[in-house]
A and B are shown apart, each in its own frame.
Chain A
Amino acid sequence: MSVRHAVLGLLAQRPRHGYELRAAFEAVVGGEENWDVKPAQIYTTLARLEKSGLVAEDSIEQDAGPEKRIYAITAEGLQTLREWFDASIASEHQRDEFYIKLMLGLVADAADPHQLIHTQRTHLFQELHTLTVQRSRVDPKKELARILLIDKAAMHLEADLRWLDMTEARLDEIKRQPLPEPETKPRGRPKKI
């Protein structure tokens, strides 16, 4: 993703100018504390989309302030958006910084893996608590979209916590096993037989 696709989606709803796009994006993601997109990023995205013919200038709005260029999505833009909707989104759970930290802690013998798990667990519980407090302040009758995102984060945290428990229970076993090493390939020209 792709502020790019979000911009296309918002323009598919109706033509807007850059400032409006940023505000609309922020509203969808639940505030700039969740995902802060700088105005400059919106404008460069619009410029790139325009260059590729996915959006086009629709009109210019001129009131008291500086003039505002209003953009609309083109037929090609709708096509690109269609492709995005048709495609699935890959998850990224294999790229996990804590996992790398734990493995390196085990390999390098530089950190106590139990301590690493403990520190991480504390942090995850604090995050879960913060989310729980946030969720209790959101009105499910009006802000269900916000709750969906909070719930997703909370469910991921729960899974991470379960995984930490399981990992801790298996630490002694994993220490007995060799850790993954790269395959060693012979260097130079293969020997003649």
Chain B
Amino acid sequence: MPLIQTENLTKVYGKGEAAVVALDHVTMSVNPGEFVAVMGPSGCGKSTLLHLLGGLDRPTEGSVMIDGSSLSTLSDNALTQIRRRRIGFVFQFFNLIPILSSIENVALPLILDGKNSAPAKQKATEWLRKVGLGERLGNRPDQLSAGQQQRVAIARALVTDPMLVLADEPTGNLDSRASDEIAALLAQVAKEWGRAVFMVTHDPRIAAHADRIVFLKDGKIVNETRLDAKDDRNNEAVASKLRALAA
């Protein structure tokens, strides 16, 4: 069963003459442990889709089911619970709290959810180690590189054990090397740690890390591409490209 299922998901901003259809009857699904990238020109509805999936915004029409429960039937309280416990968010500008250390930033979602500080910090430490920041536990964001800050943000997204991680241009503020590392880490979040990852990006290099790319245009899905084609023709195509380049 898919982890996310949308049916005719539609978002219209404004009314009457001034109405803008940001998302136009989008039906799609994401499976557990799947890494999906969403691409498309700016204004195509990528971010709107991400916000609707994360329950940050309510659809004009259609529905989002996450793990069997429809977001639109939930009370604000229940929606907040889902956002806190089942969904992790990663943003372009990291959104870390400047005066807190890595551990404190990562532990924050647990503490806001009423957990005690000691077990929360222990959990935070575990995730910081997993994302490769075991040596940077006590550093504040301004003592970390941009790539390291995004790692802290990913650890924070994972600390509540969510089933779904939503990432909005997670490499938009990083150089190409850090971008590649963050995309590889998100692939690991899906492949190794079994979370579904749904990422908005405009960068083909970053999208290429995903299992599937959904292309949006004018609020509609215009194309879906599976990337992990199992057949050898693709490998052969890549090999022949390398051959041509070496020539």
Give the interface of A toward B (CB within 8 A).
1-2, 29-30, 33-35, 118, 121-123, 125-132, 134, 136, 149-150, 152-154, 156-158, 161-162
Bound Cα distance from A10 to B205, whole angstroms: 34
Q: How far is the CA of A134 from the CA of B207 in the complex (A)?
A: 15
Known: A34-B242, A126-B234, A149-B245. A131 touches B208 (CB 8 A): yes
Provide the bound-state CA to CA distance between A123 and B236, in Å: 12
Chain A interface secondary structure, helix, strand, loop or mixed?
A: helix
- Is the pair B242, A129 in contact by a Cβ cutoff of 8 Å? no
A154 touches B205 (CB 8 A): yes
Whether A126 contacts B229 by the Cβ 8 Å rule is yes
Whether A125 and B213, one on each chain, are in contact in the complex, defined by CB atoms closer than 8 angstroms, is yes
Among B184, B204, B246, max chain A CB count under 10 A is at: B204
- Judging by beta carbons under 8 Å apart, are A118 and B242 in contact? no
The answer to whether the Cβ of B18 comes within 8 Å of any Cβ in the partner chain is no
Q: How many residues of B contact A (CB 8 A)?
A: 26
The interface-forming segment of B23-31, B76-84, B118-126, B220-228 is: B220-228
How distant is B43 from chain A, measured CB to nearest CB, in Å?
Answer: 14
Assess the B204–A153 pair: CB atoms within 8 A: no
Cβ–Cβ contact A126 & B227, under 8 A: yes
Which among B210, B213, B246 is the interface contact of A149 at CB below 8 angstroms?
B246
Knowing A128-B205, A128-B208, A129-B208, say if A153 contacts B242 (CB, 8 Å): yes
Query: Which of chain A's residues have a CB closer than 8 A to the CB of B239?
Result: 33-34
User: Complex: how many Å from CA A17 to CA B226?
Assistant: 46
CB distance from A146 to the nearest CB of B (A): 10
Decide yes or no whether B129 CB sits under 8 A from chain A.
no
Chain A proximity mask over B48-66: 1 for CB below 8 Å, otherwise 0: 0000000000000000000
- Distance in angstroms from A58 CB to nearest chain B CB is 27
Asked, given contacts A125-B225, A126-B227, A127-B234, whether A157 binds B204 with beta carbons under 8 Å apart, the answer is yes
Contact across chains for A125 and B204 when beta carbons are under 8 A apart: yes
How far is B241's CA from A85's CA once the two chains are assembled, in angstroms? 23
B243 adjacent to A29 (CB under 8 Å): yes
Q: Which residues of A are found within 8 Å of B237, using beta-carbon distances?
A: 123, 126-127
Contact between chains at B238 and A158 (CB < 8 Å): no
Sample of 21 A–B contacts (CB below 8 Å) = A29-B246, A30-B246, A33-B235, A34-B239, A34-B242, A34-B246, A35-B243, A121-B223, A123-B234, A125-B208, A125-B213, A126-B237, A129-B209, A130-B234, A132-B205, A132-B208, A132-B209, A150-B242, A154-B208, A156-B241, A156-B245
- Check if B1 is an interface residue, CB within 8 A of chain A: no
Residues of A within 8 A of B184 (CB): 136
| Distance between A143 CB and nearest chain B CB, rounded to angstroms | 14
